[in-house]
Amino acid sequence: MKKKFFPAILLFAMCSFAVQAATTVSVLEKNGGLKSYQVEESGKMYFSGDGLMIQEKSGSQAVSVNVSNIKKITFSSVSVGVDGNAAEQIALFAFPNPVKDVVFLAGVKNGEKVSVFAANGSLVSEISYEEEGINLSSLPSGAYVLSVSGKSIKISKL
């Protein structure tokens, strides 16, 4: 039986703003639901238990999104500065996803440091990326986040 793997895509657009920066965080859930949040410079995102916590601005109530329900997260922001250029978009792809042993990353250069985080936010490993991919066979099954140069992507380990 041939399995099809659909790589999760994470677009991350960053730019500097003249007044205040805001990033739109769009969460596509496995059931097809899409939720968007406007995270200002004073806001934050972090993991707590099985949830991805999104606080849109300082002092606001954090929203919890169950990590196991997340299919894709997209980050985007648009520059409205002096020249009006849109922010550069950088993509990070992980495949296969879900992964059994070795995961490959597109959009990552050889030698770049890859941080592997468990669903609870704890750092599991830091690995230098090579063409052979990242061997995750020693990790237990579950959800993980791979972070490279400010870009992150959620993967599932079988």
**Per-run averaged pLDDT (10 residues), the chain, 158 residues:** 31 33 78 82 82 87 88 65 42 85 87 92 92 92 91 90
Residue 69, classed as helix, strand or coil, is helix
Classify residue 46 by burial, with Cβ atoms within 10 Å: 0-12, 13-18, 19+. Answer: exposed
**Is the model's pTM score more than 0.85?**
no
Instruction: Provide the total of helices (H) and of strands (E) in the chain, helices listed first.
Output: 0, 14
**Beta-strand runs (E) in 67-132:** 70-76, 88-95, 102-106, 113-118, 123-128
**What does the pLDDT read at residue 47?**
82
Contact 138, 119 (CB under 8 A): no
